[in-house]
Structure 1
Amino acid sequence: MPRVIHVFRQPERFVAGTVGEPGDRSFYLQAIQEARTVSVLLEKQQVTVLAERITALLQEVARRFGSDAPAGAGDPDADPLAVPLEEEFRVGTMGLGWDADSRTIVVELLAVSEEEVDESVVLDDGDEGPDALRVFLSPVQARAFAERAEKVVSAGRPPCPLCAEPLNPEGHVCIRLNGYHRRPTLAE
């Protein structure tokens, strides 16, 4: 079956979001343009890396081309993901680039595949390779995406004050305490 590449050249919305309770969340990226919506599933760490790399790319573009990197995105998009939420695929490989002609950041997300993905498949329109989502973002849209993604990732479980690992509602075995639990003392 031929490869499907979902292209969004001027998305109205490109956001990270979650479904579920902290500690048991599924992470999604969603692109919307006109009446078309595409959602892809990915790992929390992938969302973090994508936001960090977009921020770094914006800084590098500003440094190389002399333009100002957008300081903030203004009013951040705080709306929930659009429903119904139907995932197109689970993200395996991510690509990021700068299109100097359109002055946009290009984000490409490739589906998990059985075969190893060669980097030549990223940002390629060939018939061979995994399904993909390709989104072109203005620097302001890219900054807004990165800011929201960072908020979505940090909105999970609070960190342990000793080891910084996420605290679970049912308890936490802290590596800094060598597996021992501190017993709270009751003041009388």
Structure 2
Amino acid sequence: MPTRVHEFAWPDRVVIGTIGLPGARTFYLQVRAGTQIVSVALEKQQSAQLAEKIDELLDQLSTVKDNPFSVPSSSPVELDDNEPLESPVEQFRAGAMSLGWDPTTAQVVIEAYPIDADVDDLDEPLENNGPEDTEMLLVRMPVGTARAFTKRTHEIVAAGRPSCAFCGYPMDPEGHTCTLPEV
């Protein structure tokens, strides 16, 4: 199957957003450049881990002598994005993801593959063996945009259901049956 690559080299917008109420939210990684929009469904944990790993990468890069990539220590205010997701909302559900750094452009690189894609097969010769093509998302974002992305993502993830102080599980608005560990 040919791989359709949704590539964004200098996106206008890169955000994590949700649809639904806490406890039933679906998370999306949405990227836009001009009129091209791609939204990929993620798990909450994927969203949180992506933001955490980007922060770790940027923190590590900011310690390089003289900070040659001008990595900001926090999100530049002018890049904060609190707007809702744009339509269309889902292209595919992400499974495997990778994170990288391109020092030639000082950009964070994210790759997302569909949950059912075999990432090892994407480099093989393209053959049309089925009705559906394989897709992938390739996003390159500058360091300031990456910091704004992680700030918003942390806020979105934290805006879910509160955790029980005793068992740590999320509490639903209807109530919570705490499963305290036996002593």
TM range (shorter): 0.7 to 0.9
Aligned length: 173
With normalisation by structure 2, the TM-score equals 0.86
TM-superposed CA distance for 1:62, in Å, is 1.9
- 1:48 is aligned with what amino acid? A
Question: 1:38-117 to 2 correspondence within 5 Å?
Answer: 38-64=38-64, 66-67=66-67, 68-73=70-75, 74-75=77-78, 76-85=80-89, 87-113=90-116, 115=118, 117=119
- 1:41 is aligned with what amino acid? A
- 2:95 is aligned with what amino acid? G
Give structure 1 stretches of 5+ with no counterpart: 179-188
TM-superposed CA distance for 1:161, in Å, is 2.0
Deviation readout 1:86-122 (Å, 9 max, x if unpaired): x11100011111101111110111111264x34x95x
The separation in 1 between residues aligned to 2:14 and 2:50, in whole angstroms, is 13
Aligned CA distance change for structure 1 residues 31 and 2 (closer, same or farther; 3 Å): same
Who wins on radius of gyration, i.e. which is larger? 1
With normalisation by structure 1, the TM-score equals 0.83
The separation in 2 between residues aligned to 1:162 and 1:114, in whole angstroms, is 39
- 2:3 is aligned with what amino acid? R
TM-superposed CA distance for 1:172, in Å, is 1.6
Q: Please identify, of 76-85 and 46-55, the stretch whose mean Cα deviation from structure 2 is larger.
A: 76-85
4+ runs of 1 displaced by more than 4 Å? 124-130
Answer 1 or 2: higher relative contact order, Cα 8 Å, separation at least 6. Answer: 2
TM-superposed CA distance for 1:127, in Å, is 4.3
- 1:98 is aligned with what amino acid? W
Counterpart in 2 of 1:157? 161
The separation in 1 between residues aligned to 2:124 and 2:141, in whole angstroms, is 18
Counterpart in 2 of 1:169? 173
The separation in 2 between residues aligned to 1:28 and 1:149, in whole angstroms, is 10
TM-superposed CA distance for 1:69, in Å, is 3.1
SS in 1 for 2:64: helix
- 1:31 is aligned with what amino acid? V
The separation in 1 between residues aligned to 2:155 and 2:124, in whole angstroms, is 33
- Percent identical: 41
Counterpart in 2 of 1:181? none
Counterpart in 1 of 2:143? 139
Given that 1:97 and 1:105 are in contact with CA atoms closer than 8 Å, whether structure 2 keeps it comes out as yes
SS in 2 for 1:27: strand
SS in 1 for 2:3: coil
Counterpart in 1 of 2:17? 17
Counterpart in 1 of 2:130? none
